[in-house]
Structure 1
Amino acid sequence: MKTVLITGCSSGYGLETARHFHAQGWRVVATMRTPHADLLPDDSRMLVLPLDVTRPDSIAAALERSGPIDVLINNAGLGLFGAFEATPMATVREIFDTNTFGTMAMTQAVIPQLRARGAGVIVNVTSSATLAPMPLVAAYTASKTAIEGFTASLAHELATFDIAVKLVEPGYAPTTHFAANGEARMRGLITEAYAPFAQRFFDALSTVQAVTREQDVAEAAWRAANDTTGRLHYPAGADAVALAARRVA
């Protein structure tokens, strides 16, 4: 039985991915800052653990309790909408601490056990904002684009140990409540000068029909974890797939 450790499982992509891997018969270590075991199946193949990816002690404690793993899915992340001009640098650093440095820290902590075993997969969840620029998410996009470059380079570095490193790139997913989850962080980031532009952008988003569902991301993560072809990019959701095809073209 294989084991997957997934970060950021309290809602959205992480929660659905944990459920999906469990349904496929895997042992799942579902981690989140504040554990909610009632969200997931209660059986011997599901272990819910506290984990804050910005704290080395929390990472170490979670890995000690999880036992050996076969796949790491770095899904934990913070969202941010707002005009970059109005975004405090402290907020930018907060976004990078989780989205970028948290992913790197988890990856670095897991590599030794995978290298010793000569097998394993690391899946990093980014965003379709890395495939096509969007306004009002400059800091968020930067944090995810950094992980795209990090993952592409690391894939070469770890291939010599038969460790695969993959990217899952979700599209726009309105049901994940991306903005609502960071409401306090985003308060005041749409200033009066940017309000008309922001309203036009939000109006345009509301008409988008090809969007991403949580299940799309779970299925993409599953494919990435099990694909042995050496593929790096796994767009998730109809909109992300279309953007990825345009990038290739």
Structure 2
Amino acid sequence: MRVLVTGAGSGIGAATARVLTARGHDVVATARRVEALDHLDVAQVLALDVTDDRSVAECVAAAGPIDVLVNNAGISETGPLETYPHDVLQKMFETNVFGPMRMVRALVPAMRERGHGIVVNVTSVEGRVAAPLAGAYCGTKHALEALSESLALEIGHFGLRVVIVEPGYIAPGMRNGVRHGEDGTVYEELRRQWSGADDTLVGPEGRPAPELVGEAIANAIDDPATPLRVPVGADAELVLATRSAQDDATFHATMREVIGLTW
């Protein structure tokens, strides 16, 4: 199958492109900067900015017929919501939510006409479980989860599939990226306590490597019986199982105890 992967310059996207190519799929790898794709040996590389309508249209036209869309491109910038910059919040939703929907609108019509196609949306364990200082990121992933489930109910009638892949905290961890409004504020202590949460839960070995997520995405594409949601990683499985078994207050208390939060 011909598979278009967004955000393929590094991490999950690059790993997915490599795994799919090794399995015999024709991969169209995309990234904002096409030179970021030089390390990949794939069928085609294209520049793509999922936040720009013209870029999306040009990429889709150059790629030709696509059987599978892997919406992987995304960003994460953390910080307390009280002080979180509104322009950064908008940028996060533009990239993590509206971007994937641009790709869906650009590619699903042709899939529907052909009677087959797959949309794989990469969310996160934080698309189902919220965390402090990651509210903006969690918000985008919760939104993409809901949109994906609605999409599955809408386009399944036409023979199309939707899969939501939910990785745990990919090393070195999303929380180690750009931060806003923490240092020197009342939230600095929360940042200090929460910074070791990933390792406290399952240890570094419990986090899924990008290659493991790439394998999960490839398996979902190759197996028509794949369920709607696919958690990936020991941390994702542990957190989601605990969350589903407890009410809100109990879960929050459990997380505070396990991580050692006094906040």
1:48 aligns with 2:45: yes
Letter in 2 for 1:204: A
Query: 1:135 matched to which residue of 2?
Result: 132
Question: What pairs with 1:13-162 in structure 2 (closer than 5 Å)?
Answer: 13-35=12-34, 36-41=36-41, 45-162=42-159
Q: Matched residues in 2 for 1:219 and 1:195: separation? A: 37
1:197 aligns with 2:194: no
Task: Tell me how large the CA RMSD over aligned residues is.
Answer: 1.7
Partner of 1:86, secondary structure, is coil
Residues matched between the structures, number: 241
Percent identity, aligned pairs only?
A: 40
Contact 1:121 1:225 (8 Å CA) reproduced: yes
Classify 1:19/1:58 alpha carbon distance in 2 versus 1 (closer, same or farther; 3 Å). same
Partner of 2:174, secondary structure, is coil
Contact 2:80 2:180 (8 Å CA) reproduced: no
1:168 aligns with 2:165: yes
Q: Matched residues in 2 for 1:191 and 1:150: separation? A: 37
Q: Matched residues in 1 for 2:183 and 2:221: separation? A: 38
Query: 1:221 matched to which residue of 2?
Result: 217
Classify 1:25/1:214 alpha carbon distance in 2 versus 1 (closer, same or farther; 3 Å). same
TM-score by length of 2: 0.86
Q: Matched residues in 1 for 2:165 and 2:64: separation? A: 25
Q: Matched residues in 1 for 2:129 and 2:174: separation? A: 18
Query: 2:3 matched to which residue of 1?
Result: 4
Gaps of 5+ in 1: none
Q: How far does the alpha carbon of each residue in 1:62-120 deviate from its partner, in whole angstroms, 9 at most, with x for none?
A: 11111111100000001121111111111100000000000111111111110010000
Q: How far does the alpha carbon of each residue in 1:144-165 deviate from its partner, in whole angstroms, 9 at most, with x for none?
A: 1001111111101001110101
Contact 1:83 1:190 (8 Å CA) reproduced: no
TM-score by length of 1: 0.91
Q: Matched residues in 2 for 1:62 and 1:88: separation? A: 31
Q: Matched residues in 2 for 1:109 and 1:178: separation? A: 29
Contact 1:86 1:191 (8 Å CA) reproduced: no
Contact 1:82 1:190 (8 Å CA) reproduced: no
Classify 1:191/1:87 alpha carbon distance in 2 versus 1 (closer, same or farther; 3 Å). farther
1:239 aligns with 2:232: no
